[in-house]
Structure 1
Amino acid sequence: MIKSRILTRKLREFSNLRRLSVNEKPSIFPEIYRPLDEVKSSDKIKNASDEGALDENLLTLLEELSLVRFSNPAAVHHLRKAINYANHLDLVDTRNVEPMYTVLENEELRLREDMVTEGNVRDEILRNASKRVEEYFVAPTGNIPLQKDENPLTITLVKQLAKKSKKNI
């Protein structure tokens, strides 16, 4: 009797924890871009929550390129937030900013001349390759196309998710 009560209570706690972890995940993007109302109203930004910004073709292309499925509402919501965040970064004026060689601005980076000290070691290097064709390394294939989803994301579902994400922002 006592064991069943404890088990029931633990299951209830676990289900509450699971519900919270699924529905209320904190955003991985900084909060800085959200309160910028003057930037949000700017004509320069194409908001990802606008209809037509994410259509079926674009989502399919993004899935193939990134090997990430956007078949659930949470994934589409985070994708929209990432696009909005990137659009805000696109507004930053970098015309007079000199490119950096390193992110360590206060450290002096000693660059040296790129001089060949040992040459003609191709055969020695190719001995380390597990697979090779002629005089080239054989690397594993890159992006492999994803299998088609049984429940593909339709444009109507994308529009519904857009309305939901507008409410959450």
Structure 2
Amino acid sequence: MKDCCHLAQVNIGRALGPMDGPVMAGFAARLDEINALAESSPGFVWRLKTDAGNATSLQPYEDERILINLSVWESPEHLKQFVYRSAHAQVMRQRKEWFARFGDAYVALWWIPAGDVPTIAEAKERLHYLQLNGESEFAFSFAKLFPAPGTIVRCASSLEPHAQ
């Protein structure tokens, strides 16, 4: 993939308890490990964090239990590798222990120019748009990936030689 664009991702979750409480202890115990894994993963570019090394103290919503994760990756394949094929997948399988089920979309992806860093306000806007309007180039999910701007997309039939 060319360096014109990177993939931004936001995901949110409503914690079942305070981060320093017993309900969230298992999640909190794995946080540094999983964040370090993300940062060392192929294709990782950037992630939102405070001086504490994570984003759990940030409160982007009125509901103080909603945690935000915002990161940038070189490609959807790199992000998928981290999310579904690393130790992160084990943490995801346990998410019901720590997070309430979300009725709306809680993950949004979108393309940004390489070198840009998304803001929390932008991430909230993309997620809200996805919740209201569904998948589009503005905000999408792994279920319906949109190509990076300027990417040539070819149908499989266009790659086959034409019979003459």
Q: TM-score, normalised by structure 2?
A: 0.18
Choose 1 or 2 for highest CA Rg: 1
Quick check: which one's helix share is greater? 1
